Structure 1
Amino acid sequence: MPQMKEPICFIENRENGDLVVNPEAEKILDAIKQPVVVVAIVGKYRTGKSYLMNKLAGCSNGFALGSTIQSKTKGIWMWCLPHPSQPGHTLVLLDTEGLGDVEKGDSKNDAWIFSLAVLLSSTMVFNSVGTIDQNSMEQLNYVTELTERIKVKSNTGKNDDDDDDDGSSEMKRFFPAFIWCVRDFSLQLEINGSSITEDQYLQNSLKLKKGIGAKVNEYNTPRECIRHFFHSHKCFVFERPASTTGLQQLESLSEAELEPGFLKQTQKFCTHVYETSTTKTVTNGLKVTGKLLYDLAVTYVGAIQSGAVPCMENAVKVLSQIENSRAVSQALSKYEEEMSKRVSHFPTETQEQFLQLHQECEKQALAVFMDISFKDEDLEYHKTLIHNLSEKAEIFLKDNLEKSVQKCQYLLEELNKPLETGIRQGKYSKPGGHNVFKTEKQNLIVSYQQHPGKGMKANEVLKKFLNEKEKIETTILQTDQSLTENEKMMAAQKAQSEAVEREKKIVEENNRRLQETMEAEKKSQEEQLAMIQEKNEQDRNKLIEENKWLIEEKMKEKENMMKEGMKKQCEMLEYEIQQLKKQQEEASQGSFLGNVISGILPGVLSSIVKKIF
């Protein structure tokens, strides 16, 4: 990946409220072939978000801090770096513009920025100042709107009974880990005189109130959303980093000028993010690369700008179309690349040898396709690949045959020179000339047949050559005065019989080639079936593992709700757990496409062989 010296704007927030993905970001993300770990930070403007992101980047500056009451970050800014503790991964840091900017005064726009941070990240950091109280919860009010601004499932094609199923019960499956950073914290971490950890402080702050009414609902809703949507909850509290004057130039202060406790906690925060933040994934554990992250951003922003609600299920469909198309393209390129290396073996002596080369390259192409493709429903892209591979194979087969024709024609031209010289000099236009011609022609045939490496067109080219010589031989036969009419008739019949035998041999050879091709196709289909089965099994195991994890998370959530005496929430969670268990049972039983594979992957190459031969 190209080294980024500083952040760039990823998603621009224009003055008219439009959100636009920066094309420059595409160049950077396109070059990132590795899985990405995406950490986004959100929070009220002027709360020091950018400072924490700079520390994660290992720099004192980069993301604009701003030393005035004006918010410096507009939209979402991005910084991509090699991951400091996960080799083979790229760390993508997303710094969002401050929420609640009085200059902007657009809470709807803030909500979309917040939603995009959730949709694009694998870890989301919420930054606030002071304490975790109702005021700070109100700053996080955007979390309560997530079910209105993000859909997990598309209702397209569903029954009316399913219209209320927005998939919110499965948001925890797709949402990032949640970290709450409390800045300028000055209280003692205690409850009823006993010391507590930062995480216990957060858990206590997320407890629900019993009762009914608007005030209880207002208090509980953001807390329920955090607990219900995000799969892990971590808290860090930071003391004030420096004096008020020092805070104005925080990016220029040396570590010696910052409070030791603040520095220690900052390091602890960075270490936690490095070590626990997971790779960004979508359905079935598909790891997101830089290219996929860009495609996700374009898909979600496009939905927002069109007035629709970003839908994860639809986004995955778009990603699958993009990635499966790429999978087909790269697989075809791999086939061409590998076959081009083997062109030096042309012409192959037999069809079997050509098919062996084809199958070696086809197998490598399919491996490329299987590695990239996902959610290829009904094997649509797989079928496209097989069809296109057959077309590529036809081109190489024709090239193979053309090289055979060229080699055979050149060989016959060389072997035929003495015969042509004899014809011009009248060597065979005398008594006994026909026997001399026949002997020399037979010697030519033997020499031709003994010559190696002629390829599959050897008999056809020879047949054409002999057909061209037939008229001359007939003339020599008829003018040979040493032969009786009966001998001439017998010689003509023998020549005709030899021609028929040659034709029969070619037909048998072509039938054998077709049979070999059909057998090779059958073997290829069996191998493809095994590859599809293995991929299906992997996807099914991922889903089972993911469901198992989600059930455990829901059960923990239910257990906590039971401790707090929240009966209604417990009932809701129990229903969700039972639905997940039902999914788990269905996934364990699974389904397989083997019964339709012969119809899905037809023998295209054999029809090409029929056409050519």
Structure 2
Amino acid sequence: MSRKALMSEPVCLIENDETNKLSINKEALQILTRITEPLVVVAIVGKYRTGKSYLMNNLAGCKKGFPQGSTMNGKTKGIWMWCGLGDVKKGNSKNDTWIFCLAVLLSSNLVFNSLGTIDQQAMEQLHYVTELTKRIRLRVSGQKEDETVQYKRIFPSFTWCVRDFTLELKHNGKDITEDEYLMISLKRKQDYNLPRRCILQYFHSHKCFVFGFPVIPKKLKDLENLADHDLEGEFVAQSKRFCNYIFRSGSIKTLPGALVVNGRMLGSLAVSYVEAIKSGAVPCIENAVVALAESENTQAVKDAVTKYEAEMNRHVGTFPTETEKEFVQLHLECEKTALEVFMARSFQDNEQTHQRAFKDKIKSVMKRFSQRNEDKSSQFCMKLLDKLNQTLQTNIAENYYSKPGGHKLFLEEKKKIMETYKTRPGRGVKVLHS
């Protein structure tokens, strides 16, 4: 399903209201529920007026969508989605940290946007990264001393986009790539080293893009109304390189155990994390996955039973089956199809609790169809016997068998009826005898 078929403009997924309270937008959840494909989730974070909206609009293939205001007021607040997630706007320090943590928890590709160069000031803007392990728990039983490897498996990739970059990419007199520039900047020994160390330790891959000025400053306020030919050619080319990188190499959102996340599952995770924050707790990935598994497995049972009923209903018109064996074979085929539906959605059903529930419900539904099959058989047999007995009943009413030798004629007619009855197909599993 295309993005435009789902939504014509960005929708706020996690709202951050004027009182700095977080809440889930139900409209956004409904949209996510309709996305059954695996997701590549891109979160673009950074200070306001750093070009986040421009990048997200480009990823969405549109010039407009996320507003690109020209004033000092950020135009997006909370976490908005449109072919992904995006945008952090300053509200208060505590809420900003939670918004950043949610962006990390929900995305598979985290993009940090800043202006100028990767310097000390830019690093200070990323101080939220130092709070991640305090604000996010991997498991209920408590953190181990060093869980760096586990965080790398769960956290998104990290991409740093530097807007309005004017330096030459050189180090010690040699040309360097953007990625080398990032790694050199992250490994510099300076007083403010914690953000650098966290970026290197907690994100599994690192990428960098530098952008020149898009237009002269006085035209920035009209950026969303400008065509590509109105922008600096190098800026347009770099924007396309960034988008192509995300499209080709963007990580698919997964959970522990290599579980691939679709839209419905992403919505459930968002609800779990926000509810944890609102309750004053620290979001726990293990708890969220357990809650997601319970929800998905419960719905998997419902979907599978619905599929079984639909498949069996397609065959009701052929009832009654000639034999019980034929009915059982039909049941097994439909059950197999339903089980495939269950297995496609179910996960972490380690004790097979939900699979047993699926089997029990199928058994109950099967009994109803078995009864319908038997009822159809009984009805067919009764109608057939009534039809075959019409001549016999007419002769009895007319005293045809009262004459000499009539009893013999009666027995012969009855035998003829039973022989015809026994050879007639379609009587099913409840064959009546007369």
Cα shift readout 1:391-421 (whole Å, capped 9, x = no counterpart)? 1211111111101101111111122233333
Cα deviation, residue 3, structure 1? 4.4
Give the alignment partner of residue 263 of structure 2, picking from 290, 307, 321.
290
Following the alignment from structure 1 to structure 2, what is the Cα–Cα distance between the partners of residues 243 and 9? Answer: 31
Following the alignment from structure 1 to structure 2, what is the Cα–Cα distance between the partners of residues 115 and 393? Answer: 48
Give the alignment partner of residue 171 of structure 2, picking from 191, 198, 204.
191
Following the alignment from structure 1 to structure 2, what is the Cα–Cα distance between the partners of residues 165 and 396? Answer: 57
Cα shift readout 1:308-330 (whole Å, capped 9, x = no counterpart)? 11111111112212222222222
Aligned to 1:123: 109
Following the alignment from structure 1 to structure 2, what is the Cα–Cα distance between the partners of residues 10 and 184? Answer: 30
Give the alignment partner of residue 10 of structure 1, picking from 8, 13, 31.
13
Q: How many residue pairs are counted as aligned between the two chains?
A: 431
Q: Does structure 2 conserve the Cα–Cα contact (< 8 Å) formed by 1:147 and 1:168?
A: no
Following the alignment from structure 1 to structure 2, what is the Cα–Cα distance between the partners of residues 457 and 24? Answer: 53
Inter-CA distance 68–446: structure 2 relative to 1 (3 Å threshold)? same
Cα shift readout 1:61-83 (whole Å, capped 9, x = no counterpart)? 2111111111111111111xxxx
Aligned to 1:229: 202
> Structure 2: which amino acid aligns with 1:181?
C
SS for the counterpart of 1:284 is: coil
Q: Does structure 2 conserve the Cα–Cα contact (< 8 Å) formed by 1:151 and 1:168?
A: no
Q: Does structure 1 conserve the Cα–Cα contact (< 8 Å) formed by 2:88 and 2:100?
A: no
Cα deviation, residue 22, structure 1? 1.0
- Which 4+ residue blocks in structure 1 deviate beyond 6 angstroms? none
Aligned to 1:559: none
Following the alignment from structure 1 to structure 2, what is the Cα–Cα distance between the partners of residues 40 and 115? Answer: 11
| 1:206 and 2:186 aligned | yes
Matches within 5 A, 1:237-386: 237-386=210-359
> Structure 2: which amino acid aligns with 1:96?
D
Inter-CA distance 168–442: structure 2 relative to 1 (3 Å threshold)? same
Q: Does structure 2 conserve the Cα–Cα contact (< 8 Å) formed by 1:152 and 1:166?
A: no
> Structure 2: which amino acid aligns with 1:29?
L
| 1:145 and 2:131 aligned | yes
Cα deviation, residue 447, structure 1? 2.1
SS for the counterpart of 1:356 is: helix
Following the alignment from structure 2 to structure 1, what is the Cα–Cα distance between the partners of residues 54 and 376? Answer: 67
Following the alignment from structure 1 to structure 2, what is the Cα–Cα distance between the partners of residues 247 and 303? Answer: 40
Cα shift readout 1:316-371 (whole Å, capped 9, x = no counterpart)? 11221222222222222221222112122211111111111111111111111112
Matches within 5 A, 1:28-67: 28-67=31-70
| Greater relative CO, 1 or 2 (CA 8 Å, sep 6+) | 2
Structure 1 residues 265-274 or 35-44, which shifts more? Answer: 265-274
SS for the counterpart of 2:306 is: helix
Give the alignment partner of residue 108 of structure 1, picking from 76, 81, 94.
94
Give the alignment partner of residue 94 of structure 1, picking from 85, 101, 107.
85
Cα deviation, residue 248, structure 1? 2.9
> Structure 2: which amino acid aligns with 1:196?
I
Inter-CA distance 187–163: structure 2 relative to 1 (3 Å threshold)? closer
Q: Does structure 1 conserve the Cα–Cα contact (< 8 Å) formed by 2:6 and 2:31?
A: no
| 1:443 and 2:416 aligned | yes
Following the alignment from structure 1 to structure 2, what is the Cα–Cα distance between the partners of residues 411 and 260? Answer: 84
Cα deviation, residue 262, structure 1? 2.0
Inter-CA distance 314–96: structure 2 relative to 1 (3 Å threshold)? same
> Structure 2: which amino acid aligns with 1:28?
I
Following the alignment from structure 1 to structure 2, what is the Cα–Cα distance between the partners of residues 400 and 221? Answer: 71
Cα deviation, residue 252, structure 1? 2.7
| 1:174 and 2:160 aligned | no
Inter-CA distance 418–55: structure 2 relative to 1 (3 Å threshold)? closer
Q: Does structure 2 conserve the Cα–Cα contact (< 8 Å) formed by 1:40 and 1:125?
A: yes
Structure 1 residues 138-147 or 283-292, which shifts more? Answer: 283-292
Give the alignment partner of residue 406 of structure 1, picking from 368, 379, 386.
379
Aligned to 1:389: 362
Following the alignment from structure 1 to structure 2, what is the Cα–Cα distance between the partners of residues 273 and 420? Answer: 83
Inter-CA distance 40–398: structure 2 relative to 1 (3 Å threshold)? same
Q: Does structure 2 conserve the Cα–Cα contact (< 8 Å) formed by 1:324 and 1:376?
A: yes
> Structure 2: which amino acid aligns with 1:127?
N
Inter-CA distance 264–163: structure 2 relative to 1 (3 Å threshold)? closer
Percent sequence identity over aligned pairs: 52
SS for the counterpart of 2:158 is: strand
Cα deviation, residue 435, structure 1? 4.4
Q: Does structure 2 conserve the Cα–Cα contact (< 8 Å) formed by 1:185 and 1:240?
A: yes
TM-score with structure 2 setting the length: 0.93
Cα deviation, residue 42, structure 1? 0.4
> Structure 2: which amino acid aligns with 1:400?
N
> Structure 1: which amino acid aligns with 2:129?
V
Alignment RMSD, CA only? Answer: 2.1
SS for the counterpart of 2:215 is: coil
Give the alignment partner of residue 76 of structure 2, picking from 69, 73, 96.
73
Q: Does structure 2 conserve the Cα–Cα contact (< 8 Å) formed by 1:39 and 1:121?
A: yes
Cα deviation, residue 433, structure 1? 5.3
> Structure 2: which amino acid aligns with 1:305?
K
**Alignment gaps of 5+ in structure 2:** none
> Structure 2: which amino acid aligns with 1:222?
P
> Structure 2: which amino acid aligns with 1:7?
P
> Structure 2: which amino acid aligns with 1:94?
L
Cα shift readout 1:484-503 (whole Å, capped 9, x = no counterpart)? xxxxxxxxxxxxxxxxxxxx
Structure with greater helix share of residues: 1
> Structure 1: which amino acid aligns with 2:95?
N
Give the alignment partner of residue 154 of structure 1, picking from 123, 140, 145.
140
Cα deviation, residue 429, structure 1? 5.6
Cα shift readout 1:227-285 (whole Å, capped 9, x = no counterpart)? 11111100111222222222233223343443332222222212211111022122332
SS for the counterpart of 1:301 is: helix
> Structure 2: which amino acid aligns with 1:97?
V
> Structure 1: which amino acid aligns with 2:293?
S
Cα deviation, residue 123, structure 1? 0.8
TM-score with structure 1 setting the length: 0.67
Following the alignment from structure 2 to structure 1, what is the Cα–Cα distance between the partners of residues 150 and 270? Answer: 21
Q: Does structure 2 conserve the Cα–Cα contact (< 8 Å) formed by 1:37 and 1:279?
A: yes
> Structure 1: which amino acid aligns with 2:181?
Y
Following the alignment from structure 1 to structure 2, what is the Cα–Cα distance between the partners of residues 260 and 421? Answer: 99
Cα deviation, residue 422, structure 1? 4.1
> Structure 2: which amino acid aligns with 1:49?
K
